[in-house]
Amino acid sequence: MPRPLVVGNGKLLINFDDKLHMRDLYFPYVGQLNHVGGHFSKLGLWVQGRFSWLDEDGWTRKLGYGQESLVTDVHAHHEHLGISLQIADGVHQRDPIYLKKVSVRNLASEVREVRLFFHHDFSLNETEVGDTAVFDPILRTIYHYKRNVYIMANGKTDTGGINQYSVGIKRFNYAEGTWRDAEDGLLSGNPIAQGSVDSTISFSLILQPQEEKALFYWMCIGESYEDVKGLNQYVLESDPEHLLSRVAVYWQRWVNKEERDFADLPAEVVNLYKTSLLLVRTQIDQDGAILAANDSDILQFNRDHYSYMWPRDGALIASAMAKAGYTGVIAPFFRFCADALNKEGYLLHKYNPDGSVGSSWHPYIVDGEIQLPIQEDETALVLYALWEQYKSGKQIEDCQALYPTLVRPAARFLLEYVHPELQLPNPSYDLWEERRGIFTFTSATVFAGLMAAARFAQLFGDERRYKRYTEGAERIRGAMEKHLYDHEIGRFLRGIYVRADGSVEKDFTVESSLFVLFALDVFSVDDPRVERTMDAVKKSLRVDTAIGGIARYQGDYYFKKSHDTVKVPGNPWIICTLWVADWEIAKAKSLDELQEPKNRLTWVVRHALQSGVLSEQLDPYTGAPVSVAPLTWSHATYVATVLRYLEKVNELR
């Protein structure tokens, strides 16, 4: 299930599903240690003897964000209960504090009491073993704790704080949890439980006919009781409504810090651009990891997740954010990569947010042959992104510090990890992590990485390395022309495979990632070979259904929804559709020729969730999100394409 509502600040990330359950709570790293783990923490109401959780039938829900903000704007209405709610959720821009405002309107013609119930289903440090939940009668709060994780919940109305509470056992023997205790409108008041525990608290509002009142609720997360006690006191002294208002203002200022002329782009395209910037920000940990996605429902498919830092995804996301003017946000990413770099100069498959090596399916040995379990593009693209960062922010001190620790070791590896006969990068895994060979995408990124290293060498007066890196890049480009371009079919190959006997097998699969041929300045956009390649991409990967879009490659099997490979070569991907838009932008010679890529931007808007969240893929027949949402790469690619469009408009004007 996608996560249409995401709030965070770089150290705390909270996700909600479309039924308004809190499904993920990550702390102290974005993407690492999920203290909810996909379970259901939820909100319910009791009105005059009738009870309903917000995930039940009878509620209509509209999910979104406030204008240019990371504070949600959610509307829920229940006709039979005669209740409407407006909910605003946000995470404090600095501290690990989650804030919630629930405005409750009584639609009946009589005075009524409304009780709101907040249920907490935590599994601290990703397991319910050894948790404790306790009511604190001094602070009048509920808190859960285990070792170095404390989560304290509190709230207030116009008449006071927590009205009722209950702590109990969940999902053990026959115990369902304290949420069942809430459904008669009364909580038992049990003050403590240990093991697999949950808790529920309630608040009371007395509402006149058509009257609206607000409830404020918050959670403070820390490493000790003193931490959360202090944060709770800060909320009480500062006033939660004031704090939530400040959160909204901060993100409005943040997303608008760069003045930009959006030319003729429709308002909905601009709105999604700003939403995408904000959502990308939520997926970046303060210590530098840029997470692919944090939708824990992917666990149900393979018991692993997307909450990793892939250097390739991170580099492309960092590049987009740098071009958008957010160099400060992504500067820690490059320090993260420098620390992670292997002593031989390459980056591994993926990393956890704390910098440790992530899970992998790339082996060190296949058929008795020892190999590096890497995707070389991940190393190369980090260098490319670092140069984009420098161009945008001109932070020469940061780049000088990274020159000996990241640029030179990585460039040395790229120069040395070359097939001696072909002069192309040695075999490694492709960007989709599915096959091992020598690929056009990988070769193009190695060219771009070496050119970035050469520019840094020139910047720092290192002429000897400048010459070496430049010559290495030119050798790669020449070898691409010789071995990765096929004269018979008139386009570039996806790649080649070198067999044990030295023979070479060509891979003719049409592949969307071939956009790097022009996007990374390996070849000119006007090069006929590039034009024929991209024409094949547009023709062969077009999804011929009412949904449309562009597939990854011919015969894509990942989350496959159709066996009609002629009409549906694969599910439409947001990033692949935008790569084609990038091509259309690059080759446009007039403003009229920008209509097609502008249509693709509006296509993305149409297929975003109601809140603006973008998924990885779409169902080719229904347009429903497939795989994780939000996918950080989708949002960053949308940002990058909008910026390319605007640059082209200015150029053509």
pLDDT mean over 477-491? 98
pLDDT value of residue 439: 98
pLDDT value of residue 566: 84
| Cα gap 361→20, rounded to integer Å | 34
| Cα gap 254→282, rounded to integer Å | 13
Question: Is the Cβ–Cβ distance between 310 and 645 less than 8 Å?
Answer: no
Question: Residues with Cβ < 8 Å from 52, sequence gap 6 or more?
Answer: 44, 45, 58, 59, 78, 81
pLDDT in tens, 348-386: 999 999 999 999 999 999 888 899 999 999 999 999 999
| Cα gap 309→329, rounded to integer Å | 15
The residue with tokens 């209405």 is 77
Strand partners, 154: 218
Is this prediction's pTM over 0.85? Answer: yes
Q: Label each residue of 263-323 as H, E or C.
A: CCCCHHHHHHHHHHHHHHHHCECCCCCECCCCCHHHHHHHCCCCCCECHHHHHHHHHHHHH
- Hey, is 152 helix, strand or coil? strand
pLDDT category of residue 534 using cuts at 50, 70 and 90: very high
- Hey, is 113 helix, strand or coil? strand
Question: Which contiguous run of DSSP H or E holds residue 62?
Answer: strand 59-62
pLDDT in tens, 584-641: 999 999 999 999 999 999 999 999 999 999 999 999 999 999 999 999 999 999 999 9
- Portion of the chain with pLDDT greater than 70, in percent: 99
pLDDT in tens, 80-116: 999 999 999 999 999 999 999 999 999 999 999 999 9
| Cα gap 381→652, rounded to integer Å | 29
pLDDT in tens, 448-481: 999 999 999 999 999 999 999 999 999 999 999 9
Instruction: State the Cα angle at 119 between 117 and 121, rounded to 5°.
Output: 180
pLDDT value of residue 302: 58
Question: Is the Cβ–Cβ distance between 417 and 426 less than 8 Å?
Answer: yes
| Cα gap 435→309, rounded to integer Å | 20
Cα distances (angstroms) measured from residue 381 to each of 124, 208, 419, 445, 452: 36, 61, 20, 6, 9
| Cα gap 531→26, rounded to integer Å | 45
Question: Is the Cβ–Cβ distance between 96 and 27 less than 8 Å?
Answer: yes
Q: What is the chain's mean pLDDT, rounded? A: 96
Question: Residues with Cβ < 8 Å from 49, sequence gap 6 or more?
Answer: 185
Return the closest-CA partner of residue 316 out of 292, 293, 336, 342: 292
Return the closest-CA partner of residue 452 out of 388, 363, 395: 388
pLDDT category of residue 285 using cuts at 50, 70 and 90: very high
pLDDT in tens, 53-79: 999 999 999 999 999 999 999 999 999
Return the closest-CA partner of residue 78 out of 90, 60, 94, 63: 60
pLDDT value of residue 296: 84
Domains in the chain (CATH in brackets) are 40-255 (2.70.98.10), 264-284+510-653 (1.50.10.10), 288-474+494-508 (1.50.10.10)
Cα distances (angstroms) measured from residue 546 to each of 531, 542, 591, 603: 27, 11, 27, 12
pLDDT value of residue 300: 56
pLDDT mean over 297-303? 63
Pairing of strands 369-370, 365-366: antiparallel
Question: Is the Cβ–Cβ distance between 99 and 91 less than 8 Å?
Answer: yes
The residue with tokens 């979104």 is 64
Strand partners, 46: 51, 115
pLDDT value of residue 299: 63
In the numeric block, which tokens belong to residue 79? Answer: 């006709």
CA 535 to chain centroid, in Å, comes to 30
pLDDT value of residue 34: 96
pLDDT of 1 over the 90 cut: no
pLDDT category of residue 301 using cuts at 50, 70 and 90: low
φ and ψ at residue 212, rounded to 5 degrees: -120, 135
Question: Is the Cβ–Cβ distance between 611 and 535 less than 8 Å?
Answer: no
pLDDT value of residue 580: 98
pLDDT mean over 510-538? 98
pLDDT value of residue 425: 98
φ and ψ at residue 576, rounded to 5 degrees: -70, -35
Number of other residues whose CB lies within 10 A of the CB of residue 191:
14
Question: Which contiguous run of DSSP H or E holds residue 214?
Answer: strand 212-222
